[in-house]
Each structure stands twice: as C-alpha cells, then as structure tokens.
A and B are shown apart, each in its own frame.
Chain A
Amino acid sequence: MIKAENITKIYGKGEIAVRALHEVSFSVEEGEFVAIMGPSGSGKSTLMNILGCLDTATSGRYILNGTDVSNMSDKELARIRNRKIGFIFQTFNLLPRLTALKNVEQPMIYRGVRKKEREEIAKRVLTEVGLDDRLHHRPNELSGGQRQRVAIARALVNEPDIILADEPTGNLDSKSEEDILNILRELNERGITLVVVTHDYSVAKYAHRIVHFRDGEIVKEERLLQDDGGGSLEVD
C-alpha cells in the first residue's frame, strides 16, 4: 500500500538547513494498522506529512498504492489527498462555521459528487460513527469525542486507500479516547489501512506494528499480536 524508499527531508538551505528525515525507508501493507512513535522533533510528523502528500520529500521515492507521487504537481497531489488519503488531526480541524453534515460533505465537493448523493453518503457515514442525531450541529456544539468522530467521518467519505491519524486522541479525555480508538480499530478490522502517529504507548498498542523514530531515523520496529490482547514481539 505504502512504500517509501530512502526518504530524506531537509528544511532550509545552507548552514541553517535542518535535516528532519534521513534516508527513511518505510512501508505499510494493505489492511495494516501501524503506529509511528517518537518524541517531538523525531521526524514522525514530517514523515506523516509526506505520506499524506501535504509535503514532498527532498529526495527519495514515495509510492502510494502503486503510484509514484514523488514528483507530482500541486493539482495532482490535491487529487491524491482528496481521493486516496483521509486525515484525522489532533485538533480535529473541522470548519467551525459548517454543520457536522456540511463538514463531512466537503471532501466530496472537491471530488465533484452531486449534492443529493453527497448528503446521503455523509448521513450514512455519520450514522456509522454514531452521530445520526448530531447532523446539524456545528463543531462548537459538539464534545471533543464527537468532533473527532465527525473528523473520522470526513476522512472516510471518499473511501480513501489509507487513513492517517496524527495524535487522534491527544485532545480527548480517556473515555472519548477509548471510543475513538475502538472506532479506528473497527475501521481497520473492516479492511481500512491505518497509520497513527502518537507519543502515547497506550494508543500505539492498538496497532499491529509500532515504528519508533528518533532524530529523523527509524530506530526500532515492534510487532504486536493483537489477537491475544496485546502481547509484543520485537523485531530488530
């Protein structure tokens, strides 16, 4: 599904240049649930941005579901973000003036889906995340957990190849955190590929695999056995 080869990212030029990623090779299989862990400044967010096509690597190749996106134009990248990637953010990033329903409709507007179909899909997906009674509420009328569920619905509506979540529970209380993580796990069980960035092990342990980052490099990968309740198996 995701194949990143020798990704290097350097910010700035000359003496002030900062190397955020150094020759990182990383891949995610279809249907996998991967957590990326590391302290702040470790390069995990940079990798996430590159995987999400919000940023491009300074060097290296990034192949998303068979397509090389390393050298795509702004317009092509926008299209990839729209159709192949769903984002979930720590701060939810909903449009404050729009209702939950309208927020969820937005990605489909950019895809060119007709209004009627758009509303149907948005309603269905919002119902799936348990918000069928909150369709016409604005973000400020929703709790943190509800907002994140709207964001998940928004990430799902265009049926992306992969969902990227950046600290999805960072702003939530423990009850909501559990709800959201359960939803994410269910999605993964339905076959959706999931990459979660977090610094919280209790979040990361929901994944099949944890990739540890430090100073722009992968330092460790561990594979978790989810079937028997989270035993861990270390690989290199």
Chain B
Amino acid sequence: MKLPERIKISLTGVWSNKFRSFLTLLGIIIGVSSVIIMVSLGSGTQKVVGGQFEELFSRQVYLTSNWNLPYNQMGELSLDDVDYLKESMIGVVDVIPFFRTWKEVTYEGREYTTSVAGVVEKALEVTNLKLEYGRMISEEDVKNHERVAVVGQRILEQLTGSTDYGSFPGLEIRIENQKFLVVGVLGIAASTVSLSNETVLVPMTTFRDIWRMEGEHPEFFLITYDARTGERDIIKQAEYLLNNKYGTVRGESRFMMSGIESEMNLINNIINIMTMVLGSIAAISLLVGGIGVMNIMLVTVKERTREIGIRKAIGASSQDIQSQFLLEAIILAGGGGLIGILVGVGISSLISLILAMSFEWWQGGTPFWVIFLSFAVTTAIGIIFGFYPAYKASKLDPIEALGYE
C-alpha cells in the first residue's frame, strides 16, 4: 500500500471529526505560534542590539571622573593623560579624548540648546555615530582650529524646519554667537557614549579656543584596545596609572571606567534567559498539546474499534492499521504545527510592522530555522504521542473488534 493512499485514509479520519480535531490542535497551535512570535521578536531585539554593538568598536573602555566622589575630590582628566596612558599601557590601541558642554545653537533666529562636543577626527569610528551627509571633522580641521561643525540631523530639523538633510552641509550656524560652517550631518545611531543625532561635533582645538573653561578638562576618554587584551586588564592598568598620578580618596579611585564588553554580555544574558523562560513555557504547551493528541487518538481508536475490525477483515495488516492511526496523529500534530506557524508568522509580522512604525531601528522577521524546527517538533510530537494509540489499535483482535458496538 502506497503512502499517498495511507495519507488519504488518515486524512479522512481526521476530517470526519473536524471540530474535535481542531480543538485538539488548539493546544499545539497556541504553543507553536507563541514560540514563533517569541523567537521572531526575540531575535529581532537581539539583531538590533547585537548589530549595533557589532558595528561599534566593542573593544573599548569609557573613562571619566568618579562622579560618586564629592566635587572637589573628583579626578579631572587632562590632555596629557592621553599620551601618558597610551605610552604606559600594554595592549592599548588609542586613547581618544572628548570635551563637552551645553550650548545654544542658533540659525536664522531659531535656537536649540544641545550638547556640543570637542572631538578629534577619530571620534566618529569609536562612538558608533553615523555620518549621513557631508564629511566628518578632519585632521586638518583639528590642526588648523577650523570653525566647522558636524551637526545631528535632529538639531538641523528643529532649526530649519526642513527634513532635506542633504542640503544642510554648507549652512552657517552659530553656537553661542560663534559662527560655524556645517560640514556634515549625523544620522540616527545608538551610541554607547551619550552622543547622538542631537549632538554637535566641533574640532577639539576650536572648542578649547572658544570655551576655555569647558576646554580645560576632557569630559571622558575612550580607550580602545587590541583583541589579545581583555577589558578587565585595560581597566586595571588605567586605574593603576591614574591612581599613581592623581592619588586615591580613601582607597577609591578618582576616576571610573566601564567597558561595553561586559554590558554586552549582560544584555545577551538577559535576552538568553528570557528566551529560555519563554521557550520552556512553549515547550510545556507543546507537551500539553501532545498529551491532547494522545488523548484524542485513544478516544478515536476506541470509537473506531469496529472500523479497525472491518479493515482487518478486508485485508489490512496490523502494520497497516498502525500506520493509519500514527499518520492521523502526525497529521493532527503536524497540521496544528502548520496552522501555528501561519498564525505565529502572521501575528509576529503584524507586531513587527507596528514596531517598525514606532521605532525606525526595529528590524523584525521570523528566522527560517524556527519555522522548520516548529514543523519538525510538532511532527515528532505526532509520532511520539501517536505511537501508543496506534500500537493499541493495531493489536486489536479483529473478531472482538468486529463485534464491538
């Protein structure tokens, strides 16, 4: 007997109890669709988070004053520390200083108060900021104390009332009455340091010329290091060097440092734990669904005892009967899986669509592996939970089965 014939017989069996079959499937449908929704949204989140960390220099340490200390005891970085750290530390690639202040930015009478950072040309690549139009501040700009600025698109939007970002380079803006030429536009990007598309970048040298007070001490350093060196090692070295130079306050460093490697691990851990918790809930619902399949198959076998007897009398072997009921269980469970996949993909696409409308950075999508896996798992559930009822059916004595009312 060929497989298509067997499938047809089993399909008839499932179909003749449409409503009951559907109810049985409901457990599996809910289980599978929740797995798919969960994985789709989970992997979407992970993709966004992971993707942004990947883009950025993940091997970097943020170094700033220890804000936990009283104002007069906090350490203050100086530009000398750049070379001091760079020369004394093992494994360091670069030390990049950032100056910062809050200023009023004006353009044609409109004003916007925002953070202004004094940076060197290397700031862009290590901060994960994204240059949408124009160019970044160059080495020349820094050297020649140029009055140029790379401005976040959000600021320009507010100042000009236009969203024609491409036209922004070339505009002349004022930062606290100092004229600056816009050379570049920063787009949307999540940066680890608090710089964003609402920040104005100007050459470090220019910054220090104009704002002498804020220009005295860099607000923070980003220390990048090579692949052979660990985050903890870098933090230890930097702490040691700075403690040596500036001393400590009752054993506490005047500076604080944090790396994103450990933050990234933390986020990944949280996502993994969430996935595991949700995954086990899904597994339980699939188990319950499987038990439902077994239950309904046992009822079916009982109800159709006579059919089994008839089929045996007209030439079905025990194996034929077993495969018929096993296939029914697989069709039930696998069918539930398919419907669950459709429902799950549908709902997660809908949620993704809504998220994408609210958050431009959202990237959803159901990974293919989860669809395959769901189908494979539900089919396996059919086999596992259908085996016993099918075995029971196959072992029925045809004479007794024929006499069964």
Contacts and interface: CB of A to CB of B under 8 A. Distances in A.
Interface in A91-115: 93-95, 97-98, 106-107, 109-112
B80 interface: no
A202 B348 CA distance: 72
Contacts of A106: 311, 314
B399 A110 contact: no
Interface size class of B (residues with CB under 8 A): 20 to 34
A81 interface: yes
B12 interface: yes
B357 interface: no
A140 to B, nearest CB: 13
A44 interface: no
Interface in B368-394: none
Contact of A52 (B16, B313, B318, B319): B313
Contacts of A75: 317-319
B200 to A, nearest CB: 77
A78 B317 contact: yes
Contacts of A87: 313-314
A107 B314 CA distance: 5
Contacts of B2: 112
A149 interface: no
A55 interface: yes
A52 B314 CA distance: 10
Nearest to B16: A97
Contacts of A78: 312, 315-318, 320
B307 A82 contact: no
Interface of B: 1-2, 5, 9, 12, 16, 306-307, 309-320, 398-399, 402
13 contacts: A54-B312, A74-B317, A75-B317, A75-B318, A79-B317, A81-B315, A82-B315, A93-B306, A93-B313, A93-B402, A97-B12, A106-B311, A107-B314
Interface of A: 49, 52, 54-55, 74-75, 78-79, 81-83, 87, 89, 93-95, 97-98, 106-107, 109-112, 154, 158
